[in-house]
Structure 1
Amino acid sequence: MNSANQPESIEFFFDIMCPYAYQTSVWIRDVQSQVGFDITWRFFSLEEINREEGKKHPYERDFAYGWTPLRVAAWLRRQNNDWCGTFYQICGEALHVNGRRFYDRDIALELMEAAGLPTEAWDLALADPTTHDDVLNDHKYATEQLAGFGVPIITVPGGRAVFGPVVLPAPTADKAKELWDITLAYSRFPGIFELKTPKTDEDMKMIGTIFTPYLEGRQWRSVQNPAR
């Protein structure tokens, strides 16, 4: 695709808990290194969208596996959007590559220190109730304005919001750029709502292998409410 048609910036909605969004984030960072657009990191809560009737919202709990770290990401984003992206990157890699529990405070502080992020962000974010608002406002925007039901979600100026691409393992180099051009064209084509590849048994085995660290590192039970 001609460079003149490339956006200067995009938005990427994520929940650190989501293994699919993590793979897409690895891909979009590779594309960013080639194309040069800015990424605004925005929040989406799988705990909120899939909340079971009668149970507390994640913002009503003292601790939530996904929501609590997103509050830290929100505090970091207020200071520097790149800090937010780095926090997502290190926490996502910890869970989805190494099977580490990024939501554990001690592990999170270790990761943040190694990445050069301010470790005081964890406690400051959780002491500030308005970080709930930052996460919830992004989540509501995604669900109410974009009709989002999960992540990853990518928005491009002049295009529609795209759920996906759901791809794994994340393509790199020329293949990453090729998929980006397809995604960009898709976002600008009205009337297309879904383009999906059925998963074979071999596909499921591959996905299971890639998701092994995530499955070993999580402590929650996955729930998925029906999408539109």
Structure 2
Amino acid sequence: MDATFFFDPACPFTWRTSRWLVGVAPERDVTLRWRAFSLSILNGDNVPDEYKPMMAASSRALRLVEALRADHREETIGTFYTELGNRTFEAGAPITDEIVVAAAETAGVTDPKAVLDDESWDEAVRTSHELAFGSAGPDIGSPVLLVEGAARGVHGPIIDQVPGREEALAIWDAVVPLARSTTFFEIKRGRA
């Protein structure tokens, strides 16, 4: 089964959900597809000044995601995002341009700055974002998960920490039928 994960690399909840999904994929024979979801596009100018450098670095990273996708390099995207998350969320550091470049180089991207600085990829990022938002929106954020056989995507699942194997598989086995249901709308609880 294919599953498309639309993500913004600046979001910590998205990072944890991605680690859940990466762990589940081989267990459930899931082929992961990675796409851009832009919190910068979603929030427009409504971003506090302290977060603007992180959002700019994330936007540049999403250019690379879409460039790699266009080149059919899904595994490289997955490696890039893993490197990026390890250097940010796992290391307790905010995303920066320097971290994005280092993660891209470690993932095997030759001359990543050429793509990171290429604004022509912004349209592909916007198209991907609009696909995700249109699939699961309104009132959503990052991540969006679209599973094969589902007419619409879902926002999330949002998880606070990466679960162990059994719980991870149980979440997957619950999410897929809900995502494929044409009558399911929403399940949510407050953060405690």
TM-score where L is the length of structure 2: 0.85
Equivalent-residue separation in structure 1 for 2:143 and 2:57 (angstroms): 18
* Structure 1 residues 33 and 198: CA distance shift in structure 2, 3 A: same
2:173 match:
181
Equivalent-residue separation in structure 1 for 2:69 and 2:41 (angstroms): 21
Count of residue pairs brought into register by the alignment? 183
The alignment's C-alpha RMSD in Å is 2.3
> Alignment partner for residue 168 of structure 1, among 160, 173, 182?
160
Q: Could you list the runs of 5+ residues in structure 2 that have no partner in the other structure?
A: 47-54
1:223 match:
none
Q: Percent identity?
A: 29
Aligned ranges 1:102-181 → 2 under 5 Å: 102-105=95-98, 107-113=99-105, 115-121=106-112, 123-147=113-137, 149-159=140-150, 160-181=152-173
- The offset of 1:110, in angstroms, is 3.0
Check conservation: 1:13, 1:44, Cα contact below 8 A.
yes
- The offset of 1:156, in angstroms, is 1.2
> Alignment partner for residue 86 of structure 1, among 48, 57, 79?
79
Check conservation: 2:17, 2:158, Cα contact below 8 A.
yes
Equivalent-residue separation in structure 2 for 1:49 and 1:75 (angstroms): 21
- The offset of 1:104, in angstroms, is 2.4
Check conservation: 1:43, 1:135, Cα contact below 8 A.
yes
Cα displacement string for residues 36-71 of structure 1 (whole angstroms, at most 9, x for unaligned residues): 211110111111111137xxxxxxxxx813211111
- The offset of 1:116, in angstroms, is 4.1
The list of structure 1 runs, each at least 4 consecutive aligned residues, that deviate by more than 6 angstroms after superposition, is none
SS of match in other structure, 1:35: coil
Cα displacement string for residues 176-208 of structure 1 (whole angstroms, at most 9, x for unaligned residues): 1111000011112232221112333xxxxxxxx
- Name the amino acid aligned to 1:102: I
* Structure 1 residues 51 and 127: CA distance shift in structure 2, 3 A: closer
TM-score where L is the length of structure 1: 0.72
Equivalent-residue separation in structure 1 for 2:107 and 2:39 (angstroms): 28
